[in-house]
Amino acid sequence: MSQIKLLLNVASDLRSLADSLQAVAGATDQDEPAPETKPVKEKVSPLAPKESPVTIEQVRAVLANKSRSGKTAAVRDLLGKFGAAKLSEIEPDKYPALLQAAEEL
């Protein structure tokens, strides 16, 4: 195979890879929560009974598990009840209520 033909094949493969990456990025941007990561156990001081605020990552992890277990429609409905099409559209002060509702699905 000539050098030019080999370079053209590489360029074609790179374009195909770029299209695939763009499709994956688009799929994760559309209400698909990020893959769940293992939570880091935090030491809780007996002097600090204050709970830490719920983060978007925590909510996303629970919604991802529910979606993977076949409850994608229920997850979308739940987001709709909070007035959003995507998790990123929900206000952070609503995360605790959303997390509780998601865990009940």
Q: What is the pLDDT of residues 38-76, one digit of tens each?
A: 666 666 555 555 567 888 888 888 888 888 888 888 888
Place of tokens 């739940």: 78
What is the mean pLDDT of the segment spanning 11-23? 79
pTM: 0.50
| Residue scoring higher pLDDT (104 or 27) | 104
C-alpha 73/C-alpha 57 separation (Å) is: 20
Q: Tell me what the mean pLDDT of segment 15-31 comes to.
A: 70
Better pLDDT: 37 or 79:
79
CB 61 within 8 A of CB 36: yes
Question: Which residue do the tokens 């509780």 mark?
Answer: 100
Give the tens place of pLDDT for each residue, 83-98. 888 888 888 888 898 8
Q: Residue 64: what residue type?
A: A
Phi and psi at 51, nearest 5°, equal -80, 145
State the pLDDT confidence band at 8, using cuts at 50, 70 and 90. Answer: confident
Encode 57-74 in three state secondary structure. HHHHHHHHHHHHCCCHHH
Identify the residue with better confidence: 28 or 74. Answer: 74
What's the DSSP call for residue 104?
H
Per-residue pLDDT, 29: 56
pLDDT value for 27: 60
* In contact, 39 and 62? CB cutoff 8 Å: no
